[in-house]
Structure 1
C-alpha cells in the first residue's frame, strides 16, 4: 500500500483543477451579477445567504444526492459485476474442462483400436459449441462494458452536480457573478427587492447591487446581437412595453456603444412594432454588462423607477429619503408662506401710514395768535423776574 499510495500534493492539485473547471465562466449561463466595495468574500457570503433564503421560500429547499449512498450503490454495482465475471469465468472453465475430458476419451478409444462413435458427426457439433462460447463471451463483454459506461455516467453526474448558486470568476474588480440552475432569475430578484421595500430593512452591508442575468455570450458584436434577438422574441411575444437600453463596458475596448444601441433599438422594435423607447420612466430596461470577453444580458423590469437600479442598500433607505424630501418641500412651502405673510403685513402697515399721513395733511392749519404781555415800565419787569425766580426756588428747595 505504501508504494502505490499517491502523495498529498496530487490530491490537492486535482481538487484545484476541479474547482477551476467549475468556476469557468461560459456561454448560455443564467445568474446574478453582484457589485461590492473591496470585500468580495463578504459580498459572496451575503449573496449566498439572501439568495438561498428566498429561493427556499419560492422553489423549495435544494435537494442533494447523498454521496455516501451513491458510493455504496456504486460499490454494490462493482461487486455485482465482479461476481458475474467470476461466475462466468467458472462456467467457461468448467466447459473447457468437459471439452478436454471428451477429447481425452476419444483419444483413448482410438488408441485401443475401437473406432470412435459418430466421429464425423461430432466434428460440426464441436465447431458449433466453440461458436456459441465465443458469442457468450462477446455478450458478457458487451454487458460488462455497458455496466461500466453506466457507472462512469453516474460518476460524471456526481462530479458535475451543480449547486443552485455557485460563484464564478468574471475577471473584474468588485464584480462577482453567481451562476444559478434557475431558468429565469428575475422573479427571485424581484421578490428580494419587494421584501426590502416592504420591511425597510437593510439585508446586506457589502453587497450593493444584484442584477439578474438571463443569458451570457461572447463579447463580440455578432454574438451579442444574436443573443438579444432570441431574448427579445421570447420576451415581447405577448405584449409591448416601453424600453430603455443600458450598456456598461468594463475591461474591453473592442465594442462601440453607439452602434450597439442603434442595432438593439431596431431588434426590439422588430420583435414588437408597438415597443417605444422611453428615457425617464421605462417599463423594461435591456441591461448589457460587458466584462472582458463575456457579455451579460437581461430584460429587467422597473429598473429606473421602482427598484432604484437594483441597489439593495438604496431600496432599504428609500422611504427615509422620500420622507426627508417631503419634509424639505413642506419646510420650503412654510417658509414661502411666512415670507408672503410678512410682505402682506408690510404692505398693510405702509398703507395705514400713508392713510394717516393723508389724514394729517388734510387737517387745515389754524393760526394761533399769541399776544405778548404789555409791560409799562422797567420796574414792573424786574418785579416779574423776581417773582419767577422765587417760584423756581420754591419748586427745587
Structure 2
C-alpha cells in the first residue's frame, strides 16, 4: 500500500488539470488582436485562428511547432510516483515554466474580460501590419471569410487603465507616428468595457493634447484621417494602437469591408446620369 505522502498519477494532456491563475487572461504588457463577435465566442475564436494563421503564413511563413508539448509524458510521471510531494511539486513547477518558454505559439486565445470580445495574444509578429494586410485583401477581393467575427483591432501596446498611466504610456507610444517633421491628420476612437472610471470626453481631450505637443501641426480629421488612434479599455487594462485606413476599411469590420461601396456606386451613377441627355419619346 502506498503512503499517503506520495503523489498519485496525474495526466496533463488534453487541457486537463488546474488552470494557473492569470495565465489565460489579458494583462498589461501583452500585444495581440482584439476581436469582437456576435454571441458566439467559441466559433469566433476558431474563425480568428484560421483567418490570422492564413495571412500570417503569407507574411511570415508557416509556423514551426515543436513536436514535444513541453510537458511531462505519462512514462515520466510514472517514474516520479515514488518521489516525495515537495520534490514532485517543485519539478512540476519547473516543467510548467519550461513549457511556457518553449511553447511561445504565434497565436494564443485569452480571456479578454468582456462579453463577445476575445483577445488573441501574438508572438514575434506585428499585429497592426497583419490586421491591415487582412483587411486590405478582404477589401480588394470582397471575399467573405468569416461569419461571426465583427471587428479585428490590433493591440500594439497595453498599460493600466487609469488616466495618469494611460497618458504617461501614450506620451512615448505615440512618438513614432506624431513626433515627425510631417504633420498628420488623425482621429481618436475610445471605448470602455466593464470600466466606468474613465470619461470618454476627458480621455480624448487629453490624448489630443499629447498629439498636439508632439507636433503642433497635427490636425484632427473625423472624416478621412491618415491615422486613427484606437483606445480600448477592458476592466483594468488599456489596449492601444495606431492604424491606417480606418475609415476605408469600415472601422476594421470584416463583415462590412467585403460589401460593395454603395456610396461610391451612387456617386458614379449620378455622374453618369448627368452626362446623359434626356430623350423625348413620341407615340404615333
How does the TM-score come out when normalised to structure 1? 0.58
Gap runs ≥5 in structure 1: 76-148, 346-397
Any residues of structure 2 matched to 1:219-258 within 5 Å, and which? 219-238=161-180, 239-258=182-201
Question: Which residue pairs with 1:41 in the alignment?
Answer: 42
| One of 124, 127, 141 as aligned partner of 1:199 | 141
Contact 1:217 1:296 in 2 (8 A): yes
Q: Does 1:60 pair with 2:83?
A: no
In 1: Cα distance, 2:167 partner to 2:72 partner: 46
Evaluate the alpha carbon distance shift between residue 67 and residue 7 of structure 1 in structure 2; reply closer, same or farther with a 3 A threshold.
Answer: closer
Q: CA deviation at 1:51?
A: 0.5
Q: Does 1:159 pair with 2:100?
A: yes
| One of 128, 151, 161 as aligned partner of 1:186 | 128
In 1: Cα distance, 2:171 partner to 2:159 partner: 13
Q: Secondary structure at the match of 2:206?
A: helix
Q: CA deviation at 1:10?
A: 9.8
Contact 1:30 1:182 in 2 (8 A): no
Deviations along 1:248-271, one digit per CA (max 9) or x if unpaired, are 122221111222122111111212
Q: CA deviation at 1:328?
A: 5.6
Q: CA deviation at 1:272?
A: 2.2
Q: Which has the larger radius of gyration?
A: 1
Question: Which residue pairs with 1:262 in the alignment?
Answer: 205
Any residues of structure 2 matched to 1:74-153 within 5 Å, and which? none
In 2: Cα distance, 1:297 partner to 1:178 partner: 14
Question: Which residue pairs with 2:252 in the alignment?
Answer: 310
Deviations along 1:168-218, one digit per CA (max 9) or x if unpaired, are 111211111111113531111111111112211011111011011111112
Q: Secondary structure at the match of 1:312?
A: coil
Structure richer in strand, relative to its length:
2
Q: CA deviation at 1:164?
A: 1.1
Question: Which residue pairs with 2:266 in the alignment?
Answer: 325
Q: Secondary structure at the match of 1:208?
A: strand
Gap runs ≥5 in structure 2: 77-89
Question: Which residue pairs with 1:286 in the alignment?
Answer: 229
Deviations along 1:297-334, one digit per CA (max 9) or x if unpaired, are 11111212x21110111111135x35753576368759
In 1: Cα distance, 2:24 partner to 2:96 partner: 19
Evaluate the alpha carbon distance shift between residue 58 and residue 172 of structure 1 in structure 2; reply closer, same or farther with a 3 A threshold.
Answer: same
In 2: Cα distance, 1:234 partner to 1:326 partner: 37
Any residues of structure 2 matched to 1:295-306 within 5 Å, and which? 295-304=238-247, 306=248
Question: Which residue pairs with 2:81 in the alignment?
Answer: none
Q: CA deviation at 1:12?
A: 9.6
Question: Which residue pairs with 2:51 in the alignment?
Answer: 50
Q: Secondary structure at the match of 1:15?
A: coil
In 2: Cα distance, 1:70 partner to 1:15 partner: 12
CA RMSD of aligned residues (A): 3.4
Question: Which residue pairs with 2:79 in the alignment?
Answer: none
Contact 1:30 1:183 in 2 (8 A): no
Q: Secondary structure at the match of 2:137?
A: helix
Q: CA deviation at 1:50?
A: 0.8
How does the TM-score come out when normalised to structure 2? 0.79
In 1: Cα distance, 2:15 partner to 2:153 partner: 34
In 2: Cα distance, 1:211 partner to 1:255 partner: 20
Structure richer in helix, relative to its length:
1
Q: CA deviation at 1:57?
A: 1.1
Q: CA deviation at 1:156?
A: 2.1
